[in-house]
Chain A
Amino acid sequence: MRLLGGSPRGAAEALTIPAGALAVSLILFGIFVALAGANPLGVYETIYSGAFGSWFSWQNTLQRATPLMLTALCTALPARLGLVVIGAEGALIIGALATVAIASVLPGASHWTVITAMMLAGMSAGGLWVGLAGGLRYYRGVNETISSLLLNYIAIALMNHLVGGPMRDPLVLHRPSSWHVGERNMIGLIPGMDVHWGLVFGVVGCIVTYVLMQHTVFGFAARIVGGNVRAARMAGVPVGRLTLVTCLIAGAAAGLAGTTEIAAVHGRASTSLVVGYGYTGILVAFLARQNPLAVIPVAILLGGIDAAGGLLQRWHDLPDATVHVMRGIIFLVILASEPVYGRLRVFQQSVVAPSNGAVPREAA
């Protein structure tokens, strides 16, 4: 299995350390809820059953994980080059606006034409939005973290302005909203499931970008840049083009999330789009250690925590912010576990130690 680390030991390490960090975070979180007067074991059980306990819970979890997969890619891909992009929130919104705009100029077109056009529009708009941050980084030396943060605020203001004025549907009275893309252009649910097609986009997006980053010359070059920009430049790697293209792909992923929010959920753009999928995506990317393939299970894990959040309110009288505290603890512990990589003797011996329960057999 060469998915995670290159060597079987690396793979075992890449699974064991996050699993261990997760266990530590759960213990810390348990202490936290116990201090608040809740029964930690009961809380764990509720989280499990709310997230993965039944087919209903699974669908709930997958539905919530869907946008996170795509927004996480927006941070994970540039991270391979050593860039910290936090602009998924803005790219999602811009992608959504472009989706609505393109649908409105294609009134007579066929169902499939419109859907294809919407996806392309969302991806290009999101791509250009984050590409702007990438371009500014390369050509002007503007820090991409700060510029993508500012672009988030600008995107939200732009959307508010457009749906309240130029793009406003006057028939929607009670909330400034854009025109609807048309019921017949909506993409529905995956057959047999209560989850929309965005899940497929998310999974495919993660797999495709994984292959791109791990098994192509492009990805190889990107990793060289991430390792050492100067060395890469000396080796003749086109750093600028790589930065730009990677940011374009990253933004396109978040833009596609915007398209799905429009075409599978809302039908029109409004403030309902601003719910923090972009910011949660950053968390997913870091938890997945910027590996596009690992983004899938991590997004599902966080979607599950989110799905269980309602039950914590209803069954344990815990505030809604409990989920945020839990996410914060997991994020901090995972980051703090970073130095452990390469330090555990278990993974440095030639023979791998007996696998603990967290490590799948084929990985060990």
Chain B
Amino acid sequence: MIPGHCGISRRAVLKMMAAAGASTATVSQWPRRASSASRLVVGAAYVGPKDDYGWNQGHAQGVTAVKKIDGVKVVEEENVPETVQVQKTMESMISLDGASLIFATSFGYWEHMLKVAAKYPKVQFLHGGPTVWKEGMPTNAGSYNGFIDEAQYIAGIVAGYTSKTGKFGFVGAKPYPASLRNINSFTLGARTVNPKAMTQVIFTGDWVLPVKEAEAVNSLADQGIDVVTCHVDSPKVVIETAEKRGIFSSGYHVNQSTLAPKGYLTGAEWNWEKVYTDYVNWLRDGKSWPHMRRGGLRAGIVRNAPYGPAVSEKARKQADDAKAKFTDGSFVIYKGPMKDNTGKTVIPAGKSYDATDIWLESMDWLVDGVRGSTRS
């Protein structure tokens, strides 16, 4: 279980050190570009630790799936800041490891990735996030993103059935469009079950702030809220605190059910495994791909975590029915008439926005039924 420092015996260390001292030949055997020239090398950069029970872990799981493909070698770096440093990391993966496909998995990598992409036209660059590729940008760059709010909508239905108070809590990091879309879709899903459902939002101010996240869950629980979900980089603390307070939780990014065996209802998850293996296979087969790849439940880019023990049969059925409608493409979440929480009509009657509509990626309002503000 514990690699490295704990598991290794003293004798092994001594032996290794002796070996290292005896022969300098071992030194020159470290991986070099030449040794990987025949293989497809994929580079991935993460903004945080790979095992954060959240955003970075989701991507790392996707990259792990890629490792299993024959003839593919993966090079990874974690905790890479969103500055010129990530440019150097990508360039280093290209020039020292021979990477020909780069996954840049944090929003703040986009501008840096475009700069590097312009410099290395033979390498493919892909960015995970709500970024928009436009004509004139490097043609070897692109972005992929999932409509994870569809999974949040399903989670909202499940929460709506399970909640006793009809009050939900959402712990966000910052009021930005993807968060707002998650909050809105979750609330809309819950409101199909309970039209009076209300979601209280708390923004902590940054992507990882454990103490603030725990405080947020506690004050939500104090307000009589009995289902909590979130959009922070590492939902571990939110889920665990909810379990401690004896309220239900709905996960985000990856499966956190082991953290809350009693209260975990379901969760909205990424399926980067599929996305990443697709890209690698396409690259090997010489196929071209779209500059912008978008998809939700139907495309299999997002999914819901298995239902927890507290979810009733009726809720499961209703949620599965809704999922089926997403999968056959017959359902649209954002359909008029729809009002925001200040009473203004945001989508007029008769108008509807398909999930792929780019308008939804600039969402700056909260739907009726949400308590919270989009300002910081």
Contacts and interface: CB of A to CB of B under 8 A. Distances in A.
Interface in A278-311: 306-307, 310-311
A64 to B, nearest CB: 7
Given A160-B205, A313-B78, A40 B176 contact: no
Contact of B91 (A56, A175, A315): A56
A339 to B, nearest CB: 31
Given A320-B78, A320-B79, A37 B8 contact: yes
Query: Which of A34, A35, A275, A310: most chain B CB closer than 10 A?
Result: A310
Interface residues of B, number: 53
B107 A174 contact: yes
B20 A310 contact: no
Contacts of A175: 107-108, 174, 176
B184 to A, nearest CB: 15
B30 A265 contact: no
A164 interface: yes
Contact of A63 (B78, B88, B95, B177): B88
B5 interface: yes
A314 interface: yes
A49 to B, nearest CB: 8
A165 B376 contact: yes
B92 interface: yes
A63 B176 contact: no
Contacts of B350: none
A173 interface: yes
Contact of A310 (B8, B89, B205): B89
B332 interface: no
A165 B176 contact: no
Given A42-B26, A175-B108, A56 B79 contact: no
Contacts of A42: 20, 26-27, 30
Query: Which of A39, A45, A64, A314: most chain B CB closer than 10 A?
Result: A314
B130 A174 contact: yes
A266 interface: yes
Contacts of A63: 84, 88
A176 B174 contact: yes
A92 to B, nearest CB: 12
A155 to B, nearest CB: 15
Contacts of B4: 36-37
Interface in B174-223: 174, 176-178, 205-206
Nearest to B43: A314
A174 B12 CA distance: 50
A314 B93 contact: yes
Closest 9 A-B residue pairs measured CB to CB? A164-B376, A275-B81, A320-B79, A272-B82, A314-B75, A60-B88, A36-B4, A39-B20, A310-B77
Given A34-B13, A40-B20, A272-B82, 17 more contacts: A35-B5, A37-B8, A39-B19, A40-B17, A42-B26, A56-B96, A165-B376, A173-B130, A174-B107, A267-B111, A275-B82, A307-B92, A310-B80, A310-B92, A313-B78, A319-B78, A320-B79
17 contacts: A34-B16, A34-B17, A37-B3, A37-B13, A39-B16, A160-B376, A164-B174, A164-B376, A175-B107, A175-B174, A176-B376, A272-B81, A310-B77, A310-B88, A314-B75, A314-B97, A320-B77
Interface of B: 3-5, 8, 12-13, 16-17, 19-21, 24, 26-27, 30-31, 49, 75-85, 88-89, 91-93, 95-97, 107-108, 111, 129-131, 174, 176-178, 205-206, 361-362, 364, 375-376
